[in-house]
Chain A
Amino acid sequence: MTVTVRRVLLPLCGIALAIGGWWLASSLDDRTPPPSRVFHVLVDGLGSSDGLLLDTRLSVLRVLIGVAIGCTAAVPVGFALAWFSVVRDMFNPLVSFFRALPPLALIPLVIIELGIGETARLSLLVYAAFFSAVIVIYESVAAIDDLYVRAARALGASELELFRRVVVPLTVPQIFVAVRVALGVCWATLVAAEFVAAQRGLGAMMAKAQSFFRMDDVWAGILLIGISAVIMDRLVQLLMARAVRWQERVVR
Chain B
Amino acid sequence: MTDPTVERISFTDVRLGFGRGRHRLEVLDGVDFGVRSGEFVSVLGPSGCGKSTLLNLAAGFLKPDSGLVEVDGAKVTGPDPRRGVVFQQYAIFPWLTVEKNIAFGLTLKGNRRPKAEIREAVARYVDLMGLNGFEKALPKTLSGGMRQRVALARAYATEPDVMLLDEPFAALDAQTREFMQELLHGTSQRDQRASMLITHSIEEAIFLSRRIVVLTNRPTHVHEVIDVDVEWPRTPESRTAPAFIELRRHLEQVMRSMTTLPTVNR
A interface list, Cβ under 8 A from B: 147-148, 150-158, 161, 165-166, 169-170, 244-248
Q: With both chains docked as a complex, state the minimum distance between the C-beta of A65 and any C-beta of chain B, in angstroms.
A: 30
Within 8 A of A (CB), among B76-98: 78-81, 83-85, 87, 89, 91-96
- The listed residue (B109, B110, B140) touching A248 by CB distance below 8 A is B140
Interface of A is mostly: helix
- The listed residue (B83, B108, B140, B158) touching A246 by CB distance below 8 A is B140
Cα distance A166–B100 in the bound complex, in angstroms: 13
- The listed residue (A152, A156, A246) touching B94 by CB distance below 8 A is A246
Question: Are the CB atoms of A147 and B87 closer together than 8 Å?
Answer: yes
Q: Does B46 contact A (CB under 8 A)?
A: no
Question: Are the CB atoms of A244 and B85 closer together than 8 Å?
Answer: no
Q: Which residue on B lies nearest to A246, using beta carbons?
A: B95
Q: With both chains docked as a complex, state the minimum distance between the C-beta of A250 and any C-beta of chain B, in angstroms.
A: 11
Question: Are the CB atoms of B108 and A156 closer together than 8 Å?
Answer: yes
Cα distance A245–B96 in the bound complex, in angstroms: 10
Q: Which residue on B lies nearest to A154, using beta carbons?
A: B85
Q: With both chains docked as a complex, state the minimum distance between the C-beta of B229 and any C-beta of chain A, in angstroms.
A: 33
- The listed residue (B60, B93, B155) touching A148 by CB distance below 8 A is B93
| Chain B contact residue count (CB 8 A cutoff) | 30
Question: Are the CB atoms of A158 and B108 closer together than 8 Å?
Answer: yes
- The listed residue (A147, A156, A169, A170) touching B110 by CB distance below 8 A is A156
B interface list, Cβ under 8 A from A: 59-61, 78-81, 83-85, 87, 89, 91-96, 104-105, 108-111, 138-140, 154-155, 158
Q: Decide yes or no: A156 and B111 within 8 Å by CB, A150-B87, A151-B87, A246-B140 being known contacts.
A: yes
Question: Are the CB atoms of B91 and A155 closer together than 8 Å?
Answer: no
Q: With both chains docked as a complex, state the minimum distance between the C-beta of B8 and any C-beta of chain A, in angstroms.
A: 16
Question: Are the CB atoms of A170 and B109 closer together than 8 Å?
Answer: no
Name the A residues within 8 Å of B111 (CB-CB).
155-156
Cα distance A244–B52 in the bound complex, in angstroms: 32
Name the B residues within 8 Å of A246 (CB-CB).
94-96, 138-140
Name the A residues within 8 Å of B104 (CB-CB).
152, 155, 165
Question: Are the CB atoms of A156 and B81 closer together than 8 Å?
Answer: yes
Cα distance A91–B119 in the bound complex, in angstroms: 46
Q: With both chains docked as a complex, state the minimum distance between the C-beta of B85 and any C-beta of chain A, in angstroms.
A: 4
Q: Which residue on B lies nearest to A248, using beta carbons?
A: B140
Q: Which residue on A lies nearest to B81, using beta carbons?
A: A156
Question: Are the CB atoms of A150 and B91 closer together than 8 Å?
Answer: yes
